[in-house]
Structure formats: structure tokens, C-alpha cells
Structure 1
Amino acid sequence: MMNTESMDECILVCVYYGPNGERLMRRGGKIAKMLKCPLYVLTVDPQPEDEWDIEKTHYISVWRKIAEEIGAELIEKYNEKRPIVKVICDITKQKNVTQIVLGQTAQSRWEEITKGSIINELLHKLSFVDLHLVSVSRELEVQEGFYEKGIRAYLMEVNEGHRLCFNHTYLDKYEGIFYKEVGTDFNNGVFKFMMGNEMVEVPVIDDHVKDIHKSIN
């Protein structure tokens, strides 16, 4: 349940699909916990829900779990045709938001937020709100550029660790998203999945994950 002990402050975190979403939510969660105030997480998509691909569905599932963990209300706006700034402003006024956490996410609509024009527009329209712009690390941007689009995959426990497979069976230990390295004929890349309430990323080499606890984060 959301902690509403202090109503003087209210945090809104804006996220879009990608690995930076969890980081932004937890950053907002820390601020809200420190201020003992309400926390909202907003995601916007121009597509209707029934047109999502597996990657979007995966991230939304992860965010819902994290939102519950950190005591946030996740606001999902789909089939949304309004400009991003308009949506942010409307939610800000509806929820009496005083601080907004924004992220620079590679290859997404939120990337526009890092450009001065939209920042200036938010500052102009929401002069009473503090903006926190969280940048993505260079390593993450480079890493994303070397992988193909993610696909649903599973890890099966074997003697030497875990083996990657793409057909679901009762032997599967973990379900997640596999990102294959560009330019390789073998299944080398990164497997992302939920372990408890944490998003874990492990390297895949020739269909195998040797150490499931050795995250590359």
C-alpha cells in the first residue's frame, strides 16, 4: 500500500521500454521513501495493448511487480495519441505531483525528453515541479546496439549449468527474454529474467549459462 504520510510531496517516474525502467523506478522509490510521500509510475505507448510484442509484455510484467514492491501506483496509458508532454502534464496535475523523474532511454520516444525543447516545455508548463533527468550509462547504450530484438526463451537446468531453449517444457527453470549478439551463427548473447523481484542479466555462450547468479549488471 502506498505511504501517504506526507502529502506535501508527490513523485512521478516516467518510464519506457528498456532496461533503464527498473533503475528509474527504484530511484523514484528511494526519493519517495525518504520523503514519505506518494509514488506514481507512468508509461505511455501509442499502440493498443493487443499489438504489443513479447519484449513490451515482459517489461510491463516486470514493472508491475516492482511497483508493488516499492509501493507505487503504475499508470499505464496505451493507444495514446497525445504528445508525451501533454500526458505528463495532465497526470502531474491530476495527482498533484511535485517531482518528476525522467530517463534517457536509447531508441525510444522518451529519448526526445533529453532534447532541450521538451525539457524547456516541461519547465515552462510545470514551473512548480522539480525535474530529475537520469541519464543512461554509456556502457548500456553501447551494449544495446550489439544485440538483435529480444525473443521469449527459457533456461533448462543441466549438469553444467543451464541450457537455453525456445520451446516451453516442464523442465524449464526460468522464463525470460534472449538477446542474440549481432553477426553470430550461434546462440551467444544475453538472457534477461526475473529472479525474485530483481531483473537479472546473464551471458549466454553457445546456448549455455554457466553461472545463473553471475549477473552482467
Structure 2
Amino acid sequence: MAISLRSSENSTVLRKLSLEVPKIEKIVVNCGLGAEAGNSKGLEAAMKDLANITGQWPVKTKAKKSVASFKIREGNAIGIAVTLRGRVMFNFLDRLINLGLPRTMDFLGVNPNSFDGHGNYSIGLRDQGVFPEIPYEVGGKKNGMDVCIVTTAKTDNEALRLLTLLGMPFSENIKSGVLIRKKRLKRHHFMSKGRGRR
């Protein structure tokens, strides 16, 4: 007899499974501007560039406290940021993976050890010019950006698998600390068992 997926019990199981499968919750893109943040024209230009790259207008990030050595006062704009969700988020991720990263100079893959221990992954780009929306200017100032991919994964290993399936080009020349730690734990576990039997 065929099992109906529409039955109340099975639909509940499927709902629970869908909640357990890791997914990307949001992507946060930050751009520190330094001295440009105090220049209204420079700030406006940077916001337009980030909006063109991400598909969403960013907000200004402000200093939480004053830093005399950097001539920063509390409340001053120090950069811009944007939080992406839904379709805009996946559009940006697709363009990051297939356009931005491959155009990075001497690109050999992203570091698989840049997870934070909670299933979130961060990438730093030195030049926004890797995106086709930003016109290349010889000798022009290059703004970088930090990308944080927030997932619902419970572990870094789950997040690594999720992003790998989505096409994130992790470097094959760098061993993942997540997998290395896992192997060490297994080896230690078996060694302990062997000692116990003796």
C-alpha cells in the first residue's frame, strides 16, 4: 500500500525535516570607508556602488564610541552595510560565486576555515571591482567589502556541506579545520576504547 505524503502524520514529519535541513538565513555585507565616510559625495558614491552590487540600498554604520587617535566621534558614519534576505540574497550569492570570486586576482578558492563556530561563514574582498557593475578605473580608489553568510546550520561542518552544495569554491589546497578536528576526535575516541579493553 502506498504511503500518502499528504496525511497529517507524514506532513508533520516532512515539516520537521524541512526545519532541520540547514539553510541560508541572511547575508550581511559591510564596507568600511575610512576618511570617505566623512565626505558626503564619497559616501553617496559608495552607497550607490554597494546597491548596484547587492541589489538593495545600504544603510550607514555609525561609530558607537569616539576614538581620538582616528579622529572619530561617536555617531559619525564609518561605513555602510546591507542585510539581504530572500530572492535578493540568493541573486547576490549566485553572482558572488559565479562572477565576483572567479574574477579575483590569483583566485585559488576561498578558505574553508573561515567559519565562526556557529555555522556562519565570512569572506573578505579587497576590491569591489570584481563585480561587473563597478567600472574599472586605473589608479582609482578600491573599496573592499566583508560578506557574512548566516546559516541555520548547527555546526560548521553542516554549513560547509551546505555552501559546497550551493557551489561555493572552497580551496582544495587548504585542509578544512572542521574536518581535521572531526578526524582527531574520532582517532582519540578509538584510542580511548582500545586502552579501556586492555
TM-score, normalised via structure 1 length: 0.22
Question: Where is the helix percentage greater, Structure 1 or Structure 2?
Answer: 2
Normalising by the residue count of structure 2, what TM-score does the alignment of the two structures yield?
0.23
Instruction: Work out which structure has the larger RCO, using CA pairs closer than 8 Å and 6 or more positions apart in sequence.
Output: 2
